[in-house]
Amino acid sequence: MKKVGVAILGLGVVGGGTYKILTDKKEFFKKTQGVDVTVEAVLEKYVERADALGIGKDKVASSIEEVCSNPAVDIVVEVIGGVEPAKTFVLKALMSGKTVVTSNKELFAKHWPELEEKARKMNVGLFFEASCVGGVPIIRTLIDGMQANDIKSIKGIINGTTNYILTKMALEGSTYEEALKEAQRLGYAEFNPTADVEGFDATYKLSILSSLAFNTKIAIENVHREGITSITKEDIAYGKELGYTIKLLAVGKNTDKGIEVRVHPAYVPNGNPLATVNDSFNAVHLVGDSVGEIMLYGRGAGALPTGSAIVSDVIFAAKHQTYYYTYFKNNEKGVKETNFTDDFTSQYFIRLSVKDLKGVLSKISGVLAKNNISIKEAKQVAEKEGVVPMVIVTHECAESSVNKALEKIKATAGVISVDSVIRIED
C-alpha cells in the first residue's frame, strides 16, 4: 500500500477540518482508496491550535524550511489564505520537490502562472480544487469531466457570505446592514467584509473557473466587478413582485463578440434553480455544446466541506503519477491574445424616482427608444410627498445602450434620481 506524508500549513478553520478528515478517516482511505495518508507535520504560529487538535509537539514545525526538508512529507497543504506568506511558502515547497494542494483563491488567481511554472520545472503536482466553491467538485468537473465539450457559459453563486446576506434580506426583510451583522455574528462574514460584499472573492474564483472553462487565461483585471452593498429592501421587494430573486452572480460567457466575465448582483427568475440556492450554499451552472446543462450544488465554505475538497486533491495526487498542467497560454501573453467584451447583453431592471408630472414616463420611454431599448414592463407606484417611484424592465439589450440612455435619463426634466440598475439573468 502506498504511504503518503502530508504537511498542513495553517490550522485555522479549514486547516483544522482538513486535519480532522485526514486523521479520522485514515483507515477508511486505506480500505477504499488503497493509500495510507499520515499528517507528518503542521506549521502554525498559534501553538494552542495544534494542542486543541491533539497534535504532538514533535509534529509542529518551526519554519517552512523545516517542512520542506522533511523527507517524510510528500504533499504540502496550504490553507493560510492571502498572498503572503502563503506565496513564499508554496514556492519553497514546490522548489523542494513537494506536491502542493491549496485552497487559496486569491493567491491562485493572482499568481497561478508563476506557481505552475515552478510545479512544471520540478515535475510535481499543483492542486486547487478547494480554491473555488468549497466542497463542490467544480475544478475536477471542468478538467476531467467536460473534455467532450466546448463550454458556452458558466454561471453561479460562488460566495456564501453574500448569498447568506441576500437570503436574509429576501426571506426576513432585513436591511443589508442587519443581514451583514448577523453574518458576522455567525462567522460567515469577516470583521472587514470587503472581499466578500464588494465581489473580490467571487472575482478571484471566476478568474480561475472561466480560465478552465474557456481554455484561455482570464486575469482578474478582465472581470467586471460589482458588490451588493447598494442593494436595498426596496430592490428585494420589487423583485418579488416581478417574480425575481436577487443573487450575487458570477457569469462567464463565450460569445461571438468575445469572452465576457462579470460579477454583480442580478435578478434571477424564480423558476431558475439558482433562485432557490439559499444561505451559505453555492451552485454552478454549466452549459456545454455536447452535454447541455449541468448544475453542481453544495456547501460553499466551512471546515469540513472545504476540507473535503482538499483531501480529495490529496488522495488524487497520491494515486496519480502524472499531473495536470494547463495547456493554454496561462500568462499575460495569453490574456493579450484573448478577445474580451464588456458590452454585455441582458435585460435590465431600472428603478427611478420622478416628479409627479405629466409626460415623464413618455420622455423616459423616448430616451430608451432612441438607444434601441424596448420596454417589457413599466409601473409607477403611489406618490409619496410629490415623488413617484417608477420601475422599468427592459427587453434584452446591450450594456452600452443602457449606459448611454441612463446618462440622458438623469438629465431629463422631472427625473429626480436613478436609484437602481440591476441586470436580469435568465
Alpha-carbon span 126 to 47, nearest angstrom: 28
Choice among 205, 217, 247, 253 that is catalytic = 205
Q: Residue 337 has what DSSP assignment?
A: H
**Residues 26, 51: Cα–Cα separation, whole Å:** 20
Q: What whole-number distance in Å separates Cα of residue 106 and Cα of residue 103?
A: 9
| Chain Cα centroid distance, residue 420 | 23
Pick left, alpha or beta for residue 258 (phi over 0 → left; psi -120 to 50 → alpha; otherwise beta): left
How many angstroms separate the Cα of 42 from the Cα of each of 8, 14, 62, 374? 5, 13, 9, 60
As beta bridge partners, residue 285 has 155, 295
Phi and psi at residue 93, in whole multiples of 5°?
-65, -45
Whole-angstrom distance, CA of residue 329 vs CA of residue 17:
35
The residue count of the chain comes to 426
Instruction: State the residue for C-alpha cell 494552542.
Output: 48
Active site residue 57: no
The residues assigned a catalytic role are: 205
